[in-house]
Amino acid sequence: MKLATVVTPWLGWLTVVLCGAGLYLGLYGSPADYQQGETVRIMYVHVPAAWMALFCYTALAVSAGVGLIWRHPVAEVAARATAPIGACFTFLALLTGSLWGKPMWGTWWVWDARLTSMLVLFFLYLGYLALNSAFDDPQRGARASAILALVGLINVPIIKFSVDWWNTLHQPASIVRMGGPSVHPAMLWPLFLMIGAFTTYYLWVLMLRMRRELTASRLRARRRMQAEEAGV
């Protein structure tokens, strides 16, 4: 709680600065692509959203695993706080991908390996949220949802390497690859700024949600104690 109190305002301001700079350079400071034209600007939202969808699910699975194995209550809180944020990032990645796919591929959706595995990731997020609140006993819900999160972790490398393992319409990796980024620096820097903005946004909202849940948990425990004392 002390750490969150100090860090949260800085994360909020850093998110605003990075997002403002990234959007300005991405929309006005970078050139249009010679093949995609102005449509390429969708990537300044799509790529960071897709990156954060995978990052958040990995953080969710790790936190859920720590909570499941070592019964760490803060890890369970972090997992529950991460799930809706990651689901929103995944939905945003799917939506912006469809907006890009229509002019480029001529269709809103194809059952491409990358797109299908991202859709599976979205359902994994929703399944975690549903399982976590499906039981009257919060501990049973936490255990069931943690197992689902750990099993679903296998989908993360499938998403990452799907364009290499299968013949897909989705373009191959152009940033994290052996030969270095193939994106022009005028487009790469705004992209890095937006990835940084999405990352700090996740950490910012994560801190806010965890603080809220921990505070609510303390209030519930205090009310139980007061009720027990009154009963005595």
The two structure tokens encoding residue 147: 């197992």
Higher pLDDT, 165 or 17: 17
37 phi, psi to nearest 5 deg: 70, -145
pLDDT of residue 178: 46
Task: Tell whether the model's pLDDT for residue 31 goes beyond 80.
Answer: yes
Task: Tell whether the model's pLDDT for residue 35 goes beyond 80.
Answer: no
> 166-197, pLDDT tens digit by residue?
777 676 666 655 455 557 788 889 999 999 99
DSSP labels, 91-103:
HHHHHHHHHHHHH
- pTM of the predicted structure, to 2 decimals: 0.90
Q: How confident is the model at residue 78 (pLDDT cuts 50, 70, 90)?
A: very high
Percent of the chain scoring above 70 in pLDDT: 93
Higher pLDDT, 65 or 31: 65
The two structure tokens encoding residue 70: 């070592």
Contact 68, 141 (CB under 8 A): no
Mean pLDDT along residues 58-83: 95
Q: What's the domain count of the chain?
A: 1
* Residue 6 backbone zone (phi > 0: left; psi -120 to 50: alpha; other: beta): alpha
Q: Give kind and range of the element (H or E) at residue 167.
A: none
> 202-225, pLDDT tens digit by residue?
999 999 999 999 988 888 878 888
* Average pLDDT along the chain: 90
Q: Kindly report which listed range (72-81, 101-110, 129-138, 207-216) carries the lowest average pLDDT score.
A: 101-110
What's the CA gap between 206 and 151, in Å, rounded? 23
pLDDT of residue 105: 85
* Residue whose C-alpha is closest to residue 202's, from 120, 94, 83, 121: 83
Q: Which domain holds residue 207?
A: 2-231
- Give the domain CATH number at 94: 1.20.120
What's the CA gap between 125 and 115, in Å, rounded? 16
Cα 114 from chain centre: 16
* Residue whose C-alpha is closest to residue 82's, from 70, 67, 69, 97: 67
Q: How confident is the model at residue 36 (pLDDT cuts 50, 70, 90)?
A: confident
What's the CA gap between 40 and 46, in Å, rounded? 10
Contact 41, 26 (CB under 8 A): yes
Contact 53, 231 (CB under 8 A): no
pLDDT of residue 231: 67
